[in-house]
Structures are given as structure tokens and as C-alpha cells.
Amino acid sequence: MSIYDYSVRQLNGVETGMSSYRDKVLLIVNTASQCGFTPQYAELQKLYETYRERGLFVLGFPCNQFGAQEPGSAEEVAEFCSINYGVTFPMFEKTLVQGPDAHPLFQYLTGETDGEIKWNFTKFLVDRNGRVVQQYDSSVKPLEIAPDLEKLL
């Protein structure tokens, strides 16, 4: 299995194969709208704007597993991200990211890093070949990841 074998559903309900991101550098993040780390949306958007032309895609996966900090509907999540942070990077449906019912994509990501998702805004960096390079915990601000992105772009 590789990251490209999984499918995910966008906030608008459209099923998307991760294979559509082949040859791109990915920063995959579980997000939440009512979290102390929510302001990281601004830095995630900045990374996306800065590096998109060079092949970076930030992929946001709202998650309500940690402190019920993402209670809204898909429409509410989309509106919140757009109005408050100007998010234009792809956002996906609410996703379980840990435990036995975690989405297979996140089971794969944590299996590749031997990591655990402990809170919202855990980040996974994936290279152009679909290899998971690094997992960052919530406290790592997105702009701190820029040097690692530069090496992959």
C-alpha cells in the first residue's frame, strides 16, 4: 500500500483519490475550528500560497475527536475557514484520525511514522513519491516546517 491507494471525501462530498496528488509534496493536517491551535490555519494558508507553484498541497482534515473542537457541519467548517483564515487549500470531510475506526489514510500515516496523533493540528509531511517523511505534533507551527518543505520542493 501507498498513500496513493486511499480515497478521501472533500467537504463538498466529492470523493478524491490521493493519487490525484501524485508528484506533489503534501502537508496533511488534522484540523479543528475551536482549538487553541486553530490560528495555525493562517500559517498553513501562507505555506500553501508560498509553495503551491512549486508543488506543495496542504490538505486539511477536520476532526472532532479531540475535545469536540470541530462540532460544525461541512458547510460551517468551510465557511469558518474561508471567512476567518482565507483558506483556499483543499479541505476534507470530518475524519477520525486515531483509534480502531480511524480513516485508513490516517492509519497508514501513523503506521509509517510509528507515531500517534495526540491532538488537533498534527502534521504529516509527504514527499513527491508518496513517502511519509516526518510527523510534527501540534506545537510545531507550520512556518517552522518551511525548511523541511524547501528540501523536498
Q: Catalytic residues, which ones?
A: 35
C-alpha cell recorded at residue 1: 500500500
Question: Which DSSP string corresponds to 12-50?
Answer: TS-EEEGGGGTTSEEEEEEE-TTSTTTTHHHHHHHHHHH
Instruction: Please give the distance of CA 2 from its chain centroid, rounded to a whole number.
Output: 17
